[in-house]
């Protein structure tokens, strides 16, 4: 995951922030992405993350201030630990359960289709 994040950041060298969408989370709405961007544009946050039922989820918007930290990540953990360690991550509550659901197996996809 860290290698993918680094590769993505290299494609956006002048961006104020990037939205990181995970490919195994098919229930993310365009409206949620708009809300992340709007919350980031207010200022004062290094990142914006959605929450559902008090649980932090994805996608996240990573601000430019985090780019050097993300560039030093390695392994399969992504930016989760980095975001947990920061006090300036803005959380936005959403009723979209898709922010905490992912598809890791065919049975997961079947469960989503019954929603």
Question: Which residue segments constitute the domains of the chain, with CATH numbers given?
Answer: 2-113 (3.90.550.10)
Chain mean pLDDT for the chain: 92
| Residue 109 in this model has a pLDDT that exceeds 80 | no
Separation of CA 71 from chain center: 16
pLDDT number for residue 105 = 82
The encoded tokens of residue 59 equal 């996608």
Please indicate whether residue 112 or residue 96 has the higher confidence score (pLDDT): 96
**DSSP β-ladder status, 47-52 and 89-93:** parallel
The C-alpha atoms of residue 18 and residue 62 are separated, in whole angstroms, by 5
- Beta-ladder partners of 48: 61, 90
Mean pLDDT score, 42-65? 96
pLDDT number for residue 106 = 78
| Residue 113 in this model has a pLDDT that exceeds 70 | no
pLDDT number for residue 34 = 98
């Amino acid at each position: 995951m860290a290698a993918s994040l680094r590769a993505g950041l290299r494609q956006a060298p002048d961006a104020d922030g990037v939205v990181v969408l995970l490919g195994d989370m098919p229930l993310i709405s365009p409206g949620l992405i708009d809300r992340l961007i709007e919350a980031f544009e207010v200022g004062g946050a290094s990142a914006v993350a959605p929450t559902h039922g008090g649980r932090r989820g994805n996608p996240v918007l990573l601000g430019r201030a985090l780019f050097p930290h993300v560039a030093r990540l390695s392994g399969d953990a992504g930016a989760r630990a980095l975001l947990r360690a920061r006090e300036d991550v803005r959380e936005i509550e959403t009723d979209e359960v898709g922010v905490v659901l992912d598809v890791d197996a065919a049975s997961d996809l079947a469960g989503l289709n019954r929603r």
